[in-house]
Amino acid sequence: MRLIILDRDGVINVDSDDYIKSPDEFVPIPGSLEAIAKLTQAGWRVVVATNQSGIARGYYDLAMLQRIHDKLHRLLGAYGGEIEAIFFCPHGPDDGCDCRKPKPGLFHEIEARLQMSLQGVPAVGDSLRDLQAARAVGAKPLLVRTGKGESTLAKGEGLEGIPVFADLQAAVEELLGGALC
Ligand SMILES: [Mg+2]
Ligand SMILES: [Zn+2]
């Protein structure tokens, strides 16, 4: 069984500089839920690794984050898709934690929980920090242009050898076509 790791904001749902603070603010990027459902139906395990510093900043609490994720699971379920687990960092940039990407802590948690190495596992993100965290554990970073993707590309830093896709749907089509990994 193949595994894929997805960032959340800017990959699955529309990102916002004001943070995603409620289920109403969680709006899927067109095609992203269908893409995850395709992965599920092709037998892939899908997990999410997401920085949620809005918790440390006091913009929402864990119960609200759960409600937001309940919405994600519910919307995705309607397409027949499944996200097995959502790993999140609730800390702020100054908390010195090991899990806020670009630190690889969330990826280590995934390895521990799933009892497997992430070597070569595709990890889709829209920010440089997603790609750096993936690379730190030997996963295969993929960049999408949605969310902060265009500005990540424009900065051009740390992107050597990283495939770029219009969006999650395009990345998944490539993965399921077997052209990558
Ligand atoms: Mg993101
Ligand atoms: Zn953290």
Distance 78 CA to ligand 2 centre (A): 31
Instruction: Quote the ligand 2 centre to 16 CA distance (angstroms).
Output: 20
167 is catalytic: no
Active site annotation includes 130: no
Look over the chain and give the mean of its residue pLDDT values, rounded to a whole number.
Answer: 97
Write the pLDDT tens digit of every residue in 6-15: 999 999 999 9
CA of 106 to the centre of ligand 2 (A): 8
What is the pLDDT at residue 181? 55
Confidence (pLDDT) at 51: 98
The structure's pTM equals 0.97
123-181 tens-digit pLDDT = 999 999 999 999 999 999 999 999 999 999 999 999 999 999 999 999 999 999 976 65
Preceding omega of 23 cis (within 30 degrees of 0): no
Q: Where are the alpha helices (DSSP H) in the chain?
A: 32-41, 62-77, 105-114, 128-136, 149-155, 168-176
